Structure 1
């Protein structure tokens, strides 16, 4: 028997269940999401080389103009504090023109890659210092863990894919490469630039393919890490619903408050219809509030006796009508008007009450 209990505890603690929505939300708030850094790198490189492939001519003109202006003007200027300030400001301005668009494209590509993977997420939880990160024992475990082997395999695949992609580009343009020695410096630089952009685009697409595979692995690993045991799910449900004892106490207090409010309405009732011993229904007719009489209190057994006691103390008329009392108790709720089928019977009761009180 003891062995069976231990086995049940083991299986209850084993993380075999998918994470609940609350668990996923809590993990997301902590910055724990399925994300591949390789996707960011691949998309950023692809965007940068794509931009360079389109805007290389524009950047080349600015670079040549900057060197020409430097050789024609800066080399002939005397070295003074004012001239150095001018040179620095103009150089910074040219660098912004040349490198600014590239950096902007890289920034937008990085933001797009993150948004595609995890959506909008802003949290500072990963930036908080954690002592467990400098724990040497856990550090050794991370080094020799399965994830380390996966990262090693990814690095080997990256080198292989990038090398293969660049080799294919060079081999397909081998004639241009062999003719470089016969070209002028400007033509050779142009050919090298075009080949570099082609190799960059090919390598970026190869990395993007690997990044997609890595994202699938990261998603699988993330789902595995956030799995829950049956006991975790029970504890989460208990925390969400609250302690059953506290919950029952709150419901009891709510019932007591509702009963007190109901009893406070009894003295304002026009009539109390009784069983006479088991049921009591207090009715009131206020044409400014509702078009039909409505229930202000109802009860059975002990509660019915209490309603009749309060009604007697406040001189509220009580009428014995067994079938009507039972039917109203079953079909009418507190605060609601009586059902239409009881209009005639209740009207006769109220007419009797008004005659007794000389209100007609």
Structure 2
């Protein structure tokens, strides 16, 4: 099977069909780091545009819990009403925030791959519950790469926090005595600095991770030469079968042409290389129709059948070559009306049963 093939034998890039089938199953190249980057971008945008507004709304909704906790009624009905009002008030603040985060997450996914419904992903898979399969994923090369990547991210974030917070340590001790709005504003400034630094780092990490995920994805879908051949046969058809079908079609066409030669009005030849049989019925067709044509051996057979059935044969090399380009059962082009009309007029002047081949050759019609 394809999955059991030796990885070293998979030297061919995946075909478009294989990539499409993988995408339909939900197997796509996707970097989680791109999603994290967009989440950080959304957070930074919200903090920059709406930081003050969000701070005031949060302070206004929670101020009573910090400044006047003794005035909060503790009976169940009033306490329930107060909590519900708080949840409703914070929802009006945090609802748009969550909407922005969802929009940015969706944009990160769409940017990497076009949206596609993949029912395969939501089907239950018992194999995913296997402890052995889970251990294989954890201790695989991919698992090791993910572990190193996450460890590096934690170290980087820790270093950024250290660099940003160290100069502010003295101010942190004084925050307990400041107004809540001032504390929130200070925290927003720190968070904005942190997000700015993280966005720069995550942009680099996201590009590198996406390139790695794409490379690993294409490597996993590589094909062996035999798989390429089998897919080509499946898509385009077996070359032997196609050749046989083409041969059968040609045989049917030849048989039909040979059956039409006895009914032809005239056969125009090269004289030996080309032969084109025309049929013209006065009053029934506007122009002569090509009912048979051939070169070399097939041309000789057309001449033989024409001779056996006393169909006039006229030698006109330029006209024969020109009419050979006309498709079977199609009328001749207007450009050749005059030349063919002269040939047919000549045939009609002959006596019944007299083969035109034995008359002096008709002058070539330009």
TM-score band (shorter)? 0.7 to 0.9
Q: Which piece of structure 1 moves more, 178-187 or 97-106? A: 178-187
Of the candidates 10, 19, 32, which is equivalent to residue 24 of structure 1?
A: 19
**Alpha-carbon distance in structure 2 between the residues aligned to 1:189 and 1:344:** 97
Q: Which residue of structure 2 lines up, in the alignment, with residue 159 of structure 1? A: 154
Aligned partners of 2:261 and 2:302 also within 8 Å: no
C-alpha change, 1:136 and 1:285, in structure 2 (3 Å) is: same
Q: Which residue of structure 1 lines up, in the alignment, with residue 302 of structure 2? A: 304
**Alpha-carbon distance in structure 2 between the residues aligned to 1:56 and 1:279:** 87
Q: Which residue of structure 2 lines up, in the alignment, with residue 210 of structure 1? A: 205
Aligned partners of 1:282 and 1:296 also within 8 Å: yes
User: What displacement does 1:268 show?
Assistant: 7.1
Q: Normalising by structure 1, what TM-score?
A: 0.75
Q: Which residue of structure 2 lines up, in the alignment, with residue 194 of structure 1? A: 189
Say if 2:352 is the partner of 1:352: no
C-alpha change, 1:79 and 1:138, in structure 2 (3 Å) is: closer
Q: Which residue of structure 1 lines up, in the alignment, with residue 96 of structure 2? A: 101
User: What displacement does 1:273 show?
Assistant: 4.1
- Structure 2 unmatched runs, 5+: 353-366
Q: Which residue of structure 2 lines up, in the alignment, with residue 119 of structure 1? A: 114
User: What displacement does 1:332 show?
Assistant: 4.3
**Alpha-carbon distance in structure 2 between the residues aligned to 1:307 and 1:172:** 105
Aligned partners of 1:15 and 1:229 also within 8 Å: yes
Instruction: Give the secondary structure class of the aligned counterpart of 2:223.
Output: coil
Q: Which residue of structure 2 lines up, in the alignment, with residue 6 of structure 1? A: none
C-alpha change, 1:242 and 1:229, in structure 2 (3 Å) is: same
Q: Which residue of structure 2 lines up, in the alignment, with residue 4 of structure 1? A: none
Say if 2:237 is the partner of 1:242: yes
Instruction: Give the secondary structure class of the aligned counterpart of 2:311.
Output: strand
Q: Which piece of structure 1 moves more, 103-112 or 210-219? A: 210-219
Of the candidates 155, 166, 169, which is equivalent to residue 171 of structure 1?
A: 166
User: What displacement does 1:122 show?
Assistant: 3.0
Aligned partners of 2:303 and 2:313 also within 8 Å: no
Aligned partners of 1:295 and 1:333 also within 8 Å: yes
User: What displacement does 1:117 show?
Assistant: 1.4
Kindly provide the CA deviation profile for residues 111-158 of structure 1, in whole angstroms up to 9, marking residues without a partner as x.
111122123333222333334433444333222211121111112101
Q: Which residue of structure 2 lines up, in the alignment, with residue 33 of structure 1? A: 28
Q: Which residue of structure 1 lines up, in the alignment, with residue 56 of structure 2? A: 61
User: What displacement does 1:254 show?
Assistant: 3.3
Instruction: Give the secondary structure class of the aligned counterpart of 2:116.
Output: coil
User: What displacement does 1:40 show?
Assistant: 0.5
Kindly provide the CA deviation profile for residues 95-118 of structure 1, in whole angstroms up to 9, marking residues without a partner as x.
331111111111111111112212
User: What displacement does 1:241 show?
Assistant: 1.6
Q: Which residue of structure 2 lines up, in the alignment, with residue 5 of structure 1? A: none
Q: Which residue of structure 2 lines up, in the alignment, with residue 52 of structure 1? A: 47
Q: Which piece of structure 1 moves more, 169-178 or 262-271? A: 262-271
Q: Normalising by structure 2, what TM-score?
A: 0.74
Matches within 5 A, 1:130-141: 130-141=125-136
Instruction: Give the aligned CA root-mean-square deviation in angstroms.
Output: 4.2
Instruction: Give the secondary structure class of the aligned counterpart of 1:318.
Output: coil
Kindly provide the CA deviation profile for residues 33-80 of structure 1, in whole angstroms up to 9, marking residues without a partner as x.
2211121122113212321332122223333443468989x9569866
Instruction: Give the secondary structure class of the aligned counterpart of 1:296.
Output: strand
Kindly provide the CA deviation profile for residues 204-230 of structure 1, in whole angstroms up to 9, marking residues without a partner as x.
443343232222221221121122222
Aligned partners of 2:269 and 2:316 also within 8 Å: no
C-alpha change, 1:283 and 1:40, in structure 2 (3 Å) is: same
Instruction: Give the secondary structure class of the aligned counterpart of 2:312.
Output: strand
**Alpha-carbon distance in structure 2 between the residues aligned to 1:196 and 1:176:** 15
Say if 2:228 is the partner of 1:251: no
- Structure 1 unmatched runs, 5+: 1-9
C-alpha change, 1:186 and 1:62, in structure 2 (3 Å) is: closer
User: What displacement does 1:349 show?
Assistant: 2.0
**Alpha-carbon distance in structure 1 between the residues aligned to 2:83 and 2:243:** 75
**Alpha-carbon distance in structure 1 between the residues aligned to 2:301 and 2:132:** 67
